[in-house]
Amino acid sequence: MTLAKKTAWRLSILTAGLLAAGAAAIWCLLMLRNLSATTREEFEELREIRPIEQRLADAALRLAEGRRAAARELLDQTLSDLREFQLEQEEGYSRLDESHAAVERKLTESTVAAVSDLAKRLGSTDSAVTPEDIGLLSAAQQHVNALIAEFEVAVATVHVRTMHRFENVLIGFVIFFLGLTLVAVVINIAHYRSVIGPLRYIRDGVRALSRGALDTRLAPRGDAEFTDLQGDFNAMAAELQSLYDNLEKRVADQGRRLAVSERLASVGFLAAGVAHEINNPLAIIAGYSESLLRRLQPDSQNGDDQEGWRHDLEIIRDEAFRAKKITTQLLDLSRGGDPTRRLVSMRRVVQDVVGILRGSPLFERVKLIAPVDGEEEMMVRGSEAELKQVVLNLAMNAAQAAPREGGWVELRTRRADDWIELCVLDNGCGMPKETIQHAFEPFFSKRHGSRGTGLGLTISHAIVQRHHGELFAESNGPGCGSSFTIRLPAAEEESK
């Protein structure tokens, strides 16, 4: 049987149970309504008889006083009410039972007869009240009292019946609804298992397929709808496996082609980065070489300045070795290497960089400012060559961004708690927020042509991170200058 048919049968059973419960509730309400009407009928009859009882009591009082006429008038009113009450009994029917109705009619008839005889007797003579008159009145009162007692018994009987039936109805409803609830629970459990079980089975298969187990297949389980779905799943899994096998082969072939292209592209990117980083020391070497050539001219006045020649040659030698170190550091950056660290004075690093930059053509029109505050060495632990490379790169970038007229670059070093901070500031073109967000990404550059490839800041950022420090950029916007701050942990000897 399909899930749809099972669901229809289960819903039909539940609906039939609910309809039966509704019919039983209506039947019980009608029964209780009938008992309530019976009680109300007996109370109405009792309410009508009470004034008759009171008039008979008043008539007895008038007879005892010897007022026959007054007693006769009360008996006439009583007789009229009794006959009206008797007429209502004859025209209506009793909701309680026929025996109760027969007793009521018999008592009413005897009461009417007694009152009628007494009224005739009192009307036929004007003599004094006799014991026989009082006896007749007492008999009428006894009949009325018996009628009242019958009504009270009827009310009590109806009350007992009502409570008994209410208890039976309540117990029946409790049993019925407990049974209906049990049936509903059984139906729901069966429906839950017939739906959730196969769904979980299919879900587990889908999860296994999503994890890459393309050989997953589902055996038929559950109703026809679920077996159809499992068959569609198996067909889809088989098709995916076939596509994946073919795709894996195609990806392997394409991967080999891409590997060749990637190696060629990497060579081009690395060559551009090396050219960018080595350009700085080569420019310095070229500058000092031209200075030496000018000194060697015959008309030069500094031809015998051996100390000056030695100083220039040492700078040329140092920059040549620094160019060699740059290529080593670029390769080390790609390998993620970590050279040996030692104590380095950031004060000395700045001084050496400033000495190198003074002879650079970039700073012929850009003012270089390096204030020296105090005598603290600002010691950090790291590679002196790498730190010089970072500071030199930031200073050269700042000089390129500074205006040709009135431009300046400042190298400012200070201590901030357990950190050594070196700020490179300029009054150049500044940067928008978008440029700051991408400033340290590889190959991101706002300078076009041969002036930059976007590798300098990326390499500097990687070097600072290897020193467990931070490098971040700040700018108030285009035309407001920029600042790059290096934060390095202060060396232990300095922090003590």
Question: Using 50, 70 and 90 to split pLDDT, how confident is the model at 488?
Answer: very high
Q: In 3-state terms, what secondary structure has residue 408?
A: strand
pLDDT mean over 386-405: 88
* 394 contacts 474 by C-beta, under 8 angstroms: no
Structural domains in the chain, sorted by start? 3-198 (1.20.120), 221-335 (1.10.287.130), 339-495 (3.30.565.10)
pLDDT-based confidence at residue 426 (cuts at 50, 70, 90): very high
CB 165 within 8 A of CB 35: yes
Return the SS3 of 472. Answer: strand
Average pLDDT over every residue of 110-130: 73
In Å, the largest CA–CA distance within the chain is 187
Per-residue pLDDT, 275: 61
- Amino acid 168: pLDDT: 82
Res. 407: pLDDT tops 60:
yes
* % of the chain surpassing 90 pLDDT: 8
Query: Cα 478 to the chain's mean position, in Å?
Result: 42
Does residue 404 surpass a pLDDT of 80? yes
Give residue 457's pLDDT: 84
Q: For residue range 186-214, what is the model confidence (pLDDT) as tens digits?
A: 888 887 788 888 888 888 888 988 888 88
- Judged by DSSP in three states, 414 sits in strand
pLDDT at 222: 79
pLDDT in tens, 327-349: 654 554 444 444 567 899 998 88
Selected residue with higher pLDDT from 454 and 220? 220
pLDDT at 179: 85
Q: Is the pLDDT higher at 416 or at 131?
A: 416
Above 90 in pLDDT, residue 470? yes
As a whole number of Å, the CA-based R_g of the chain is 59
Model pLDDT, residue 265? 42
pLDDT for position 196:
84
What pLDDT score does 300 carry? Answer: 57
Mean pLDDT of 9-17: 81
pLDDT at 484 (0 to 100): 94
pLDDT beyond 90 at 247: no
User: Residue 258's pLDDT band (boundaries 50, 70, 90)?
Assistant: very low
Question: Is pLDDT of 180 > 60?
Answer: yes
The H or E element spanning position 424 is strand 419-426
- 3-state class (DSSP) for residue 70: helix
Burial of 270 (0-12, 13-18, 19+ CB in 10 A): middle
* 462 or 249: which leads in pLDDT: 462
Residue 450: is its pLDDT beyond 60? Answer: no
**Among residues 137, 8, 24, which one has the least CA distance to residue 75?**
137
Instruction: Tell me the C-alpha distance between 446 and 455, whole Å.
Output: 12
Q: Tokens 């090396």 sit at which residue? A: 274
Instruction: Write down the mean pLDDT value for the chain.
Output: 77
Mean pLDDT across 459-486:
90
pLDDT band at 216 (very low <50, low <70, confident <90, very high): confident
Q: Is residue 302's pLDDT more than 50?
A: yes
Distance, CA of 164 to CA of 176 (rounded, Å)? 18
Confidence of residue 266 (pLDDT cuts 50, 70, 90): very low
Whether 264 shows a pLDDT value over 60: the answer reads no
Concatenating the DSSP letter of every residue in 342-386 gives: EEEEHHHHHHHHHHHHTTSGGGSSSEEE----SS---EEEE-HHH
Check pLDDT > 70 for residue 399.
Answer: yes
Q: Residue 287's CB: how many other CB atoms inside 10 A?
A: 17
Dihedral, 327, 328, 330, 332 alpha carbons, nearest 10 = 170
How many C-beta neighbours within 10 Å does residue 58 have?
Answer: 16
pLDDT (average), residues 12-17: 82
Give the pLDDT score at 262.
Answer: 37
**Chain center to CA of 79:** 84
pLDDT band, very low/low/confident/very high, at 116 (cuts 50, 70, 90):
confident
Amino acid at 461: H
CB-based contact 377:347 (threshold 8 Å)? yes
> How far, in Å, are 121, 203, 262, 322, 332 from residue 335 at the CA level?
141, 44, 17, 19, 5
**482-489 and 419-426 beta bridge pairing:** antiparallel
> pLDDT digit string (tens) for 123-173?
765 666 667 777 777 877 787 788 778 777 777 777 787 788 778 878 887
